Amino acid sequence: MKLERILARGIAGWLQFEHSCHRASIFSEKYLSTPIAQILNTRFGEDVHAEIKHPILGEKSPGRGRPPEIDFVVYDKDRNIKVAIESKWVGSTVTKQTVERVIWDLVRLAMIGNNNHVSCYFILAGKKKNLDKLFDNKHFNGEIDKKGRRRPILKVRPDDYMDVRIDSPKDDRVKLLKPIFKLCQDVELPMRLGTGRTQWYPKDAFNYDYQVWVWEVMPNKQKVVFKPNNHNHYKK
């Protein structure tokens, strides 16, 4: 079974169990790490590690404070990252900042996953009504183009692959991305944020049910990169 499917089903089942045990009041992003860790440990054993310093951003953040991290990584026998995972808990309040945090997670994964050696996954979990609120958010979907289409940040349709350009976005996306790219001015980024295989569970959830979505963050088909500090839209 594909990892994204195992994660979606396993985490959703665990949330429902915890809810039945009257522990919903402590649901949070940190609490979400428990089922993710258990599933990964069962599949990969001791190669799984949590809260690992980001291999690129960590070296570019020498100041005080905790360096940027990846929620979970799986190492190969040579201590190279082969799987990287970021997760987000979606609560009842969904704002522009919520979308920015989602994009920042995706960008951090794309930095290390724009190749054929690292498999990257992004997880969203929460009540279905809160997830729907995020998926309907104007900042998540962007402005309607001339053909009447929207370009959501994440693939929420059954196609095999979808990407969003970040090197030449529309004006509304520039405003959204600019504060994010202040955090990674001298880092090579892919032209697009691409998401491929998507799993969500349960499929027929009601508004107050807990639902989990898992995306594979895909490498760009075109290996062209850019640095925000050399970009007209993003340089400080």
Distant-in-sequence contacts of 143-147, Cβ < 8 A, 24+ apart: 143/170, 143/171, 143/172, 145/170
> What's the pTM?
0.94
The dihedral sign for the CA sequence 158, 124, 176, 166: negative
Please give the pLDDT value at position 186.
Answer: 92
Per-residue pLDDT of the chain (236 residues), as tens digits, is: 899 999 999 999 999 999 999 999 999 999 999 999 999 999 999 999 999 999 999 877 655 678 889 999 999 999 999 999 999 999 999 999 999 999 999 999 999 998 889 999 999 999 999 999 999 999 999 988 878 788 899 988 766 778 888 998 888 899 999 999 998 999 999 999 999 889 999 999 999 999 999 999 998 877 789 999 999 989 87
Please give the pLDDT value at position 103.
Answer: 96
Q: CB–CB of 28/15 below 8 Å? A: no
Q: Classify 94 in phi/psi space as left (phi over 0), alpha (psi -120 to 50) or beta.
A: beta
Q: Which residue bears the tokens 């529309």? A: 170
For 205, the 3-state DSSP assignment is coil
Q: CB–CB of 198/155 below 8 Å? A: yes
Please give the pLDDT value at position 82.
Answer: 97
